[in-house]
């Protein structure tokens, strides 16, 4: 988490969001290796899947072999590389040219292929209707100026019988409560858009889909990012205490709301 900053005034555009992410790499603090090297990509993969250890458990990256997978907001390609390693035929789009450039390098260094990596707006996808078996959009909607447009486009390009997977941040969560109590801003709190969702709000956003299953996830793990007494208190007291509680009591307060949708 970082100190919050003032957001731009007035309506936010896709260009505003692109400008923000063109100058930032998520979790960059977690590597000392030069940007764009194999060690750089591997460090960020290691950190992401240590922090989000739940993700491979509920998204089988090896389970889509031969299927057409689109990631909206692919960033540097960390998750998309995993889909490709599992045999999926992958396409990635992102608003930020810098992210797409790094994603191409990531694929090259890991020796896997992407069918298409390009700059594009998730709210106006440059693909035909029913082009993909899977649409994956993890941690993107909360930063989007028009999240509903992205959901509608995901539904449009998804084939009958396909699956869409989304994640947003949970407004009614342990991390939002910790942020408020400890007076520590949320990570990327200075982004042009950052909207947190309750479970009913997320369900309403996903109304274009016939079947929606929402799964709260991302419970406390020891932080490798933060330092100082707040980090010590979080790692030594809060993480253990929270995770000792019966999961049924706290399930709805997970920081991530994962959604698995069918058209």
215 φ, ψ (degrees, to nearest 5): -125, 110
How does pLDDT run across 111-140, given as a tens digit for each residue? 999 999 999 999 999 999 999 999 999 999
How does pLDDT run across 45-64, given as a tens digit for each residue? 999 999 999 999 999 999 99
* Burial of 140 (C-beta count, 10 Å sphere; 0-12/13-18/19+): buried
The upper half-sphere exposure of residue 6, i.e. CA atoms within 13 Å in the direction of its Cβ, equals 3
77 pLDDT above the threshold of 90: yes
Question: Which CATH number applies to 14-262?
Answer: 3.40.50.150
30 pLDDT above the threshold of 70: yes
In the prediction, which pLDDT does 26 show? 87
How does pLDDT run across 207-235, given as a tens digit for each residue? 999 999 999 998 867 665 655 656 665 66
DSSP 215: E
Structure tokens at 79: 């998750």
The mean-pLDDT minimum among 16-20, 47-51, 65-69, 239-243 falls in: 239-243
């Amino acid at each position: 988490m970082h100190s919050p900053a003032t957001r731009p005034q007035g309506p936010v555009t896709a260009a505003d969001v692109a400008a923000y992410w063109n100058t930032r790499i998520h979790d960059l603090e977690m590597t000392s290796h030069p940007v764009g090297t194999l060690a750089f990509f591997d460090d960020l993969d290691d950190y992401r899947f240590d922090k989000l250890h739940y993700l491979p458990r509920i998204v089988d990256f090896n389970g889509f072999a031969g299927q057409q997978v689109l990631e909206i907001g692919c960033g540097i390609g960390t998750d998309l590389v995993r889909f490709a390693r599992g045999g999926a035929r992958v396409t990635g789009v992102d608003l930020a040219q810098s992210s797409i450039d790094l994603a191409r390098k990531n694929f090259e260094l890991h020796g896997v292929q992407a069918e298409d990596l390009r700059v594009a707006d998730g709210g106006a996808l440059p693909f035909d209707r029913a082009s993909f078996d899977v649409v994956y959009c993890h941690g993107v909607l909360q930063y989007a100026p028009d999240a509903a447009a992205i959901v509608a486009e995901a539904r449009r390009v998804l084939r009958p019988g396909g699956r869409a997977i989304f994640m947003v941040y949970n407004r009614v969560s342990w991390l939002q409560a910790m942020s408020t109590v400890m007076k520590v801003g949320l990570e990327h709190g200075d982004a042009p858009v950052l909207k947190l969702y309750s479970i009913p709000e997320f369900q309403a956003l996903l109304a274009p889909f016939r079947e929606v299953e929402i799964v709260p996830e991302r419970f406390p793990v020891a932080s490798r990012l933060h330092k100082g007494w707040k980090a010590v208190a979080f790692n030594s007291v809060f993480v253990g205490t929270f995770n000792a509680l019966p999961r049924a009591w706290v399930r709805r307060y997970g920081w991530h709301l994962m959604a698995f949708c069918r058209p």
